Amino acid sequence: MELQQASNVVCTCQRRSGLQGQIRPSRSAGRLSEAALNRSLPPKKEQACRCQPLRAVQKTMAAAVEAPVLEAPAVDYKHSLLAGREDYDKMYKRSIEDPAGFWGDIAKGYHWEQQWEDDHHNHNFDVAAGRISTEFFKGGRTNIAYNCLDRHVQEGRGDVDCLLWEANDPGTDRRMTYSETLAEVCRLANWLRAQGIKKGDAVAIYMPMLCELPIAMLACARIGAVHSVIFAGFSPESIASRIQDCKARVVLAASAVKRGKKAIDLKSMVDKALDVSSKEGFEVKKCLVCHNASSGSGKEVTHMKDGRDVWWDTEIPSQKPESEVEWVHSEDPLFLLYTSGSTGKPKGVLHSTGGYMVMAGTTSRYVFDLQPGDVYWCTADCGWITGHTYLTYGPLLCGATNVVFEGTPTYPTPARSWQVVEKFKVKQYYTAPTLIRSLLGSGNEHVTAHDRSSLKILGTVGEPINPEAWKWYSEVVGEGKLPIVDTWWQTETGAHMITPLPGVFPAKPGSATLPFFGVAPAMVNEHGHEIQGPGEGYLCIKQAWPSTIRTIFGDHDRYETTYFAGFKGLYFSGDGCRRDEDGYYWITGRVDDVINVSGHRIGTAEVESALTLHPKCAEAAVVGYEHPIKGQGIYAYVSLREGEALDDALKKELVMTVRGNIGAFAAPDVVHWAPGLLKTRSGKIMRRVLRKIASKEESQLGDTSTLADPGVVDQLLSNRP
């Protein structure tokens, strides 16, 4: 897992030319009084912005701009770790001015086998000054699995529930205490060591939401192995590319899963992926398969390859329930998680151990007010970063009880979420706006029929939440009594970056509010000049935070080019934002070629490449458009080979091609036949206009004079689906 040295990096500013929408001073988004804020607002600069046009951003926040509503903290919420805004301001100021001291004091709350050095923190975000790097707790040695499990058991909480599993079909569940979870983690850790897996080796995990999934992650962490969880919905080709990229010699898999009414044979997809890898010269040594009885299929229908595939329930129970801890250095890698990039090839985001551990635990504690024994439910899958930080590591670092939910929160009825909340007496509920919008349209009776009195905090993640959904979530689910934490962060950031803190300062529906400790946002224009006061621009971060992405695995040059070359000395998030007159941040959407579908980032180039694998597709261009449930949908323009015609059958084939090569979650929602793809004279696709056509905003197409064939616009408008 050795990281590559950086070479010369070319600035990416040129790639942002020709973007749409003006950076401008923002309209007030529900201005707060100074008394409500309990502080003096920073001085405002009355100056016009003269930057180049900002790239077109998605309009998720349009309603918030037009009709913001101010909501005060819930009066019934008295449990905040902070006394109020004054405490936040004091802690935030220190976290920015003295990050080493601030985070060092917090890190003392975790077990370190070896203390870090006095001068433990440094970072460089300027490519001109040398290699981009971040370091926290230099010289320290720890283990995140030990801090998640052993620490609590040794403190007398071994009998507290650690994992509460709820099957896809109601009526089947499982409980594991901290002691039981630790024993199972140790057994799997011993088995991995018996396969020759050691510190720094990669292990791929392709499993649904079973207890065995977080157990697998923790077992890898216990021995210093680097886990790479692959969402159990990716195609065999996507699985194979990730296995080969991280060079995983062992795969941990499951036989099958049932999601809603649909049964999915996961093992067959793993088999195909390993066949692809084998043909391309990479062999996986072992595949440990967990039989998932809740899928409804028996072991006899699962294909097992002799010498490679073995069953979990025959291999693991015989292992010892104790396992030696591998004490790793703070900057040793913890996991790889692949996320979509604008170039088409997924990026292996690498997070290190110490900084990630401290940030995951601290954000969980302050944002969700997580206390030992709290029953916490994050509806995300561990195949995504939310499932890593806020289903596995963060809650367990706090000693909470985690709900692990196998199914979909609307099956068999839209009441399922609230049935689970009532059953387990969930205190913190963290989900995506996509689900909230879906439940909103199903009727309030599904919510109100169930006891939700255990709830104390509601959260949202993955995309900005529209004000209508926010208010429904607050008034119907929370009965107007509960704080909502609308969190902004990324796979690359590892943990919350901009987020409300419950009971500390007022919320505005649709706003991520204010930065978390140690996070120094910078809103900049096209030229990288910071915009002071209210305005709109690119969202960057000025200095490192503990869970900063350390590199893109095997491609440090791409890491530097993607996140740091565009704006001098800044981490560029790829998101646009507005900041209102009260300093609150509003995320306006991606400003690169990545679509956010139900909180999942999907690279447009990735989908385009999959579409062109179909023999009848000559070329494709993919853009995002506003979707009432998913936030953004995938809109695909396709040009066919000469003599081919687009009909419903071919549309289905194209969609299935994407499903087969990436996964069902990346399937286009709309397929639009295009006689041409609106190229400029230099051959570049004018995606700005394609987005407008997809969004039915033909009156706002803007300048099309640089198109090689402007007549294609009329053709696209005339045959729009």
Residues marked as catalytic? 592
Which sign, positive or negative, has the C-alpha torsion 172, 177, 179, 181? positive
HSE-up (13 A, CA, CB side) for residue 403:
27
Task: State the Cα–Cα distance between residues 311 and 253, nearest whole angstrom.
Answer: 10
- Phi and psi angles of residue 122, each rounded to the nearest 5 degrees, phi first: -155, 160
Query: Is cis: bond before 412, omega within 30 of 0?
Result: yes
608 contacts 344 by C-beta, under 8 angstroms: yes
Task: State the Cα–Cα distance between residues 384 and 343, nearest whole angstrom.
Answer: 20
CA neighbor of 559 nearest in space, from 138, 9, 2: 9
Q: Which residues lie across from 530 on neighbouring strands?
A: 524
710 contacts 644 by C-beta, under 8 angstroms: no
Contacts of 654 (CB under 8 A, 6+ apart): 611, 614, 617, 636, 638, 668, 671
Task: State the Cα–Cα distance between residues 562 and 341, nearest whole angstrom.
Answer: 9
HSE-up (13 A, CA, CB side) for residue 581:
13
* Residue whose pair of structure tokens reads 């077992």 in the numeric block: 219
HSE-up (13 A, CA, CB side) for residue 705:
1
Which sign, positive or negative, has the C-alpha torsion 495, 506, 477, 665? negative
84 contacts 38 by C-beta, under 8 angstroms: yes
Task: State the Cα–Cα distance between residues 226 and 199, nearest whole angstrom.
Answer: 8
Task: State the Cα–Cα distance between residues 98 and 713, nearest whole angstrom.
Answer: 55
Q: Which residues lie across from 633 on neighbouring strands?
A: 625
Contacts of 449 (CB under 8 A, 6+ apart): 415, 418
Helices (H), 479-590: 556-563
Secondary structure of residue 602 in the 3-state scheme: strand
Task: State the Cα–Cα distance between residues 124 and 108, nearest whole angstrom.
Answer: 25
